[in-house]
Amino acid sequence: MTAPGVRRLGPDTAIATLVQSERADGRVVHVVPAGDDKAETLRLFAEVLHFPDYFGHNLDALWDCVRDVAARQDGPWSLIWDGARFFAAADPVTHDAIVDLLDDLARRHPAAHTIVVDR
């Protein structure tokens, strides 16, 4: 069993293979691409995870909505944040905050795998 917390993968990661592996483990998989900036990244999280219309498009609202998504899951699931390396270069503060949020999510919700792909 893997220790809880966010898992970091490098630039050579093949997303299709990663998704296939997670699904083979019986997980529902959500892949959120990193955007070019904070606003686009938050929009993509909201779009992929089907956040409610009242999502506040800030990090506190991201935490609230991701936590709600985790609470609604019936079983094991994976949240993959893809393309984070380029976002980290553009906005390192927000990048680190999102990684911390995903780490906290995995620690609080053992059925959740959170994976950051730095490519």
In the sheet where 28-33 sits, what is the strand order?
7-9, 112-117, 77-82, 28-33
pTM of the model: 0.94
Tens of pLDDT, residues 41-71: 999 999 999 999 999 999 999 999 999 999 9
CA distance 106 to 1: 13
pLDDT in tens, 67-78: 999 999 999 999
Instruction: Report the candidate in 82, 75, 83 with the shortest Cα–Cα distance to residue 28.
Output: 75
pLDDT digits (tens, 9 = 90+) for 6-33: 999 999 999 999 999 999 999 999 999 9
